[in-house]
Amino acid sequence: MSQARMVKLEKDILSKNNEYADANRKMFAERGVLALNLVSSPGSGKTTLLCRTIDALRGKLPIAVIEGDQQTSSDADRIRATGAPAIQVNTGKGCHLDAHMVGHAADHLDLAEGGLLLVENVGNLVCPAGFDLGEAHKVVVLSITEGEDKPLKYPDMFAAADLMLLNKTDLLPHLDFDVEACIANARKVNPRIKVLRVSARTGEGMSDWTAWIGAARAMALTGHPLAAELKGAA
């Protein structure tokens, strides 16, 4: 039996994931791909919103989708029905996508230069917050049926997101959801978070959301050769 000794590590527990995330980020930057990581609780409307987004941006830029789900592949089928390439990643017991899974899926998708990659994370407002996928932005979707206290109950997710989409605004007349209180709660955990109100059902607010995507894409393409082309097209 050898002598016990101390080993100093000072190593980040998620360092492996972060290395994969850095590799993904580099690959997205080289291809001029804007990657967005959509996070929410189950049923907030991510897949519906993605389908509607693909319809709104059809012909304007190439879009691919990675669908994270614990079991089924029905969300990827819904995306493929729109004509966009989609790949399903089943995480099994895993409650979040990690950067390694996303890197693999992105390889299979053969992302078009200058395109948009939309990642639908596993429906869960806790775990995906800590796992960087190499995305440019986390976008948290909160539907108004979930209650205005959610940003305070899941502060890590709202702190990690750059944009909050308040979805299902078509239901506002039927509920006593306080939009301003919800936004104030989100700003308590993240003073910089941007907020857009949308309805994936009626299409309300979709043009604001696609305008945000356009701006984020211009940012992602800064310094990339494709930026000139984008400018010419605008």
Are 30 and 84 a contacting pair, CB within 8 Å?
no
> What is the 8-class DSSP label of residue 13?
T
- Which residues, at least 6 apart from 25, have a Cβ–Cβ distance to it below 8 Å? 134, 135
Binding to ligand GDP in span 194-233, by CB under 6 A: 199-201
164: which strand partners? 140, 195
Minimal distance, residue 157 CB to other proteins, in Å: 9
- 88: contact with ligand GDP by CB under 6 A: no
Q: Which does 14 bind (CB under 5 to 8 A by kind): ligand GDP, Mg ion, other proteins, none?
A: other proteins
Strand-pair category, 34-39 with 163-167:
unpaired
140-179 residues in contact with other proteins (CB under 8 A) are 151-152, 155-156, 159
Size of the site for Mg ion (CB under 5 A): 3
Only one of the segments 64-72, 89-97, 137-145, 201-209 lies at the binding site for other proteins (rule: CB under 8 A); that segment is 89-97
* Choice from 17, 37, 44, 190 touching ligand GDP (CB under 6 A): 44
| Positive or negative: CA dihedral 98, 91, 193, 113 | positive
Q: Pick one of 47, 167, 190, 199: the residue that binds Mg ion (CB under 5 A).
A: 47
Handedness of CA 18, 19, 22, 28 (dihedral sign): negative
Among Mg ion, ligand GDP, other proteins, none, the one that 196 touches (CB under a kind-dependent 5 to 8 A) is none
The helix (run of H) or strand (run of E) holding residue 187 is helix 179-189
Q: Give 221's Cβ-side CA count (13 Å radius).
A: 19
CA–CA separation, 119 vs 97, rounded Å? 9
Cα gap 199→91, rounded to integer Å: 28
Task: With contacts defined by CB under 6 A, name the span among 8-16, 39-47, 79-87, 102-110 that binds ligand GDP.
Answer: 39-47
Among 16, 58, 60, 231, binds other proteins (CB under 8 A): 16
Q: Does 47 bind ligand GDP (CB under 6 A)?
A: yes
Place of tokens 């701006």: 215
**Number of residues this chain uses to bind other proteins (CB under 8 A):** 38
CB of 45 to ligand GDP, least distance (A): 3
User: Which residues are at the interface with ligand GDP (CB under 6 A)?
Assistant: 40, 42-48, 123, 167-168, 170-171, 199-201
